[in-house]
Structure 1
Amino acid sequence: MAKDEDKKSKKRKRDVVVHQEETNNTDVASPKRGRSAMNQNEAQNELDTSKPSAVFQPKNGRPWTLSIALPGSFITNVSTYDQKASLACRIARACAVFCVDEIVVFDDDPHTIPQQTQQKVNSNNKGHKGSWSSVNKQTSKTKAEVLAEVSDIDEPWHNPDQFLFHVLSYLETPPHLRRYLFQHHPNLKGAGSFTSLDMPHHMRADEWCVYREGVTLENDSHSHGQQREQGEPEKKKKKSKKGEKEKEDVFTMVECGLSAPVRIPIELPPYVRVTVKFASQAPPPGFPNLSPDQVANLEVEATSPSDPREEGGYYWGYTVRRAATFSDIYTESPFENGYDISIGTSERGVPLKSLIPGLASSKGGKQLLPLSFNHAVMVFGGVAGLEPAIAGDATLAANGITKETAGEAFDYWVNLAPGQGSRTIRTEEAVWIGLAGIREYVGNM
């Protein structure tokens, strides 16, 4: 019996060995190896979410622009610096996500000087004696003149328009330019925690684009107070024709986020922001590992800030301007013929969706948004809405526009969130809702 069991055991062992040999010879994968191969294939095809994939892809040149206007007064709705900075960052993020080209910060109550602001200015003025009321009766200063006396450290609380303008401008500026263009200021004390916008023109040194944003430098330095480094091209003298004195080549060094400054063939004052355009769409050989001389000798020129949008189709950030009154949104427009579409936002307007071509019909006599436009502006109100701002505007009041007829100040008067569950919609929320609502419309331009 023992011998028979040994024979069976040996036979089983031989069967196992033979099975392995046959598997190797015929290259038939074992279940374990099959699972391993499948896992490798799945790993290769697996969606990589470790890095952002929604990189902006330029299409054709874009002549039209989208602007928004909002009052800085909504900043006063919160009390601490961090909260105020957070609101500004939320506005900047919305504008970056939805490709807004211009932000207008307007004063929605240009004739009223807040009592606490006047008191703060008076307390900061040396030699002042007496109560706020007595001084306010004696002064004939306008609100703009009073706000001009607000100290830098008090701006977030007493000059919200300037605070919002300052922070929005800083956030739009590419990070590699900020130390040249912005001085230390109380408005920017929390800059290290500001939200990143990461827009197309916020490029890294190893990214190539035919356009870049730069800042002009002093030709004998790369940055503030630094001596010219070894390898930086010097200003060369160019020999002229007979009888003429030697002339220096005219150029300006520009820091544009590459490994070294580039050189443009015009002379500009230092520390001025400039848009540059390279001669080649493709990166030069060896990029990004170029020497300072190689970078300086790249063929590049200064161009209009609107060229990346109009010629290249890029979203190239937003500009920021201030408007002293509501009317100045229109009268001081940077565009030659102003805005051909103006959209006001109010809970008393019609649903935005009902005006968008393709999403709504023209039933009920509603005029749909046009199929194309040149420059559109969407205006948002502050804590009290747009109606008080419009009623308090002297120009509009002279034309008989009141709170009840505030919608007449716009081409379209829209409700961004019909049937809203909350009693109020905050300005920073309205901006996100409004830009998201109009995105499909402007995306089809």
Structure 2
Amino acid sequence: MAIPGSILDNAQTKELRTYLAGQVARAAVIFQVDEIVVFDDQLGNSVSTGAPKKRAHDCHVFMARILQYLETPQYLRRALFPMHSDLSCAGLLNPLDCPHHLRAQEWSVYREGVVTDRPLKDKEGSHVYVGLQREVVVDKRITPGIRVTVKIDEASKDFKKKMVGKLVSSAEPREHLGVYWGYTTRFAPSLSNVWSDCPFPGGYDLKVGTSERGNVSVDDPSFSLPKFRHALIVFGGVAGIEECVDADEKVPVSGEDSNTLFDMWVNTCPEQGSRTIRSEEALLISLAALRPHVKRSGRAQ
């Protein structure tokens, strides 16, 4: 899913901005989102006159840092996140409690870890701290301080023998076991970069825009999503996707023609009882409404 960081500028204090970013993360993991793209809609840096507005923080960097911090297992945060003012209110955040946020005595063949600077005497390789009493030895030399996903040898299950494992892709737990393994966070400098910088070969084969002016409603009995492998759901800021499109000079259409940028232009909450739906509310409403359709149509071969 993609969302502009400027939604945080609608919060009055750092505490509220932190909590709002946490709500985005919670919504993402509840509905098993694999990637969150924080994009700069060019609306958070200007006032109505169009002149630059100096701010003590960058809302996009702030949101991305909070999202990355929350997705990281608690036992790795001290090693991966140095002290930073953006994290000064992190104590207010509700934990995500994802499957990869494992407890110290909880066994899993896969674990997230960080490479330590402890040397190996006998052979090439690295020690990886995975939140257990003993570090895991892998057979590749990796730069210390890098976060990795480790598959631990089943013989190490009793926690008494030497912990041995191998480095694997962070996507492997989901692909092999069907276990949700958190999300990645990506920053896009503009709306157009959201899909042009897509990390998946072939890009997103289904792009869904959400708007109260959508030409398709989830309440339609015939509503369905086409088959896809990588779907992208885009949310607008305070004024919607249309304003984001108008502010992006790289997009060749005007805001009123925003629907042409997407494969589907969907109203996920028809007949709303409030004039406005806040971004954090739109996330939960839209992801909940689309979830059964995503489960039916996803992972097309």
Tell me the TM-score range normalised by the shorter chain: over 0.9
Cα contact 2:5–2:63 (8 A) shared by 1: yes
Q: Deviations over 1:150-171 (max 9, x none)?
A: 7xxx22xxx1011000100000
Match of 1:71 in 2: 4
1:80–1:117: structure 2 CA closer, same or farther, 3 Å change rule?
Answer: farther
User: In 2, Cα distance between the equivalents of 1:403 and 1:202?
Assistant: 41
Residue 93 of structure 2 corresponds to which residue in structure 1?
Answer: 194
Instruction: Give the Å deviation of 1:185.
Output: 0.4
Per-residue deviation at 1:100?
0.4
Aligned-partner Cα distance in 1 for 2:38–2:156: 39
Aligned to 1:167: 66
The equivalent position to 2:228 in structure 1, one of 369, 373, 387, is 373
Supply the AA of the counterpart residue of 1:380: F
Using the alignment, how far apart are the partners of 2:233 and 2:295 within structure 1? 15
Whether the 8 Å contact between 1:96 and 1:197 is mirrored in structure 2 is yes
1:176 match = 75
Q: Note if 1:396 corresponds to 2:281.
A: no
Please name the residue that 1:311 is paired with.
176
Q: Which residue among 261, 279, 289 is the counterpart of 1:409?
A: 261
Q: Read off the aligned partner of 1:82 and give its amino acid letter.
A: E
- Deviation at residue 119 of structure 1 after TM alignment: 6.2
Number of residue pairs matched by the alignment: 296
> What TM-score, normalized to structure 2?
0.92
Distance 1:396 1:117 in 2: 21
Would you tell me which structure has more helix in proportion to its own residues? 1
Letter of the 1:165 partner, please give it.
A
Percent identical across equivalent pairs? 43
2:288 alignment partner in structure 1: 436
Two-structure CA RMSD over aligned residues (Å): 2.1
Cα distance, 1:184 vs. partner?
Answer: 0.3
1:348 is paired with a residue whose SS is coil
Taking the aligned partners of 2:275 and 2:269, their CA distance within structure 1 comes to: 11
Is 1:361 aligned to 2:247, yes or no?
Answer: no
- Describe the shift of the 1:423–1:119 C-alpha distance in structure 2 as closer, same or farther (beyond 3 A): closer
The structure 1 residue matched to 2:124, chosen from 247, 250, 255, is 250
**2:245, 2:254 within 8 Å by CA — same for their partners in 1?**
yes
Residues 422, 110 of structure 1: alpha-carbon distance in 2 compared, 3 angstrom cutoff = closer
- 2:15 is equivalent to residue 104 of structure 1: no
**Equivalent residues in 2 for 1:181-330, closer than 5 Å:** 181-219=80-118, 235-237=120-122, 249-280=123-154, 284=157, 287=158, 290-291=159-160, 294=161, 297-330=162-195
Aligned to 2:42, the other structure's residue is in SS state coil
Q: Equivalents in 2 of 1:83, 1:102: separation in Å? A: 23
Check conservation: 1:351, 1:418, Cα contact below 8 A.
Answer: no
11, 15, 19: which is aligned to 1:82?
15
User: What per-residue deviation string (whole Å, max 9, x for no partner) do you get for residues 10-49 of structure 1?
Assistant: xxxxxxxxxxxxxxxxxxxxxxxxxxxxxxxxxxxxxxxx
Provide the secondary structure at the position in 1 that maps to 2:91: helix
Give yes or no for contact 1:254–1:264 (8 Å, CA) kept in 2: yes
Which of 210, 215, 226 matches 1:350? 215
The gaps in structure 2 that reach 5 residues or longer are: none
Tell me the amino acid that sits aligned with residue 145 of structure 2.
Y
Distance 1:393 1:203, change over 3 A: same
Mark the structure with the bigger radius of gyration. Answer: 1
Q: Verify the 8 A CA contact 2:6 2:43 in the aligned structure 1.
A: no
Cα distance between partner residues in 2 of 1:182 and 1:196 = 16
Q: Which letter maps to 1:236?
A: K
Structure 2: how far apart are the matches of 1:77 and 1:110?
Answer: 11
> Which of structure 1's runs of 4+ aligned residues deviate more than 3 A?
110-120
What do residues 46-81 of structure 1 show as CA deviations (whole Å, max 9, x unaligned)? xxxxxxxxxxxxxxxxxxxxxx10101110111111
> How many angstroms apart in 1 are the aligned matches of 2:294 and 2:141?
39
CA distance, structure 2, for counterparts of residue 206 and residue 195 of structure 1: 22
Q: TM-score, normalised by structure 1?
A: 0.63
Shift of 1:193: 2.3
Question: CA 1:379–1:208 in 2, change beyond 3 Å: closer, same or farther?
Answer: same
Secondary structure of 1:86 counterpart: helix
Query: What CA deviation, in whole Å up to 9, does each residue of 1:340-393 have, x standing for no partner?
Result: 0011011110354257xxxx327xxxxx421x3110010001011110111232
Superposition deviation, residue 310 in structure 1: 1.7
Q: CA deviation at 1:209?
A: 1.3
Contact 1:110 1:324 in 2 (8 A): no
CA distance in 1: counterparts of 2:121 and 2:110, whole angstroms: 26
What is aligned with 1:387?
A: 242
Structure 1 unaligned runs (5+)?
Answer: 1-67, 121-149, 221-234, 238-248, 363-367
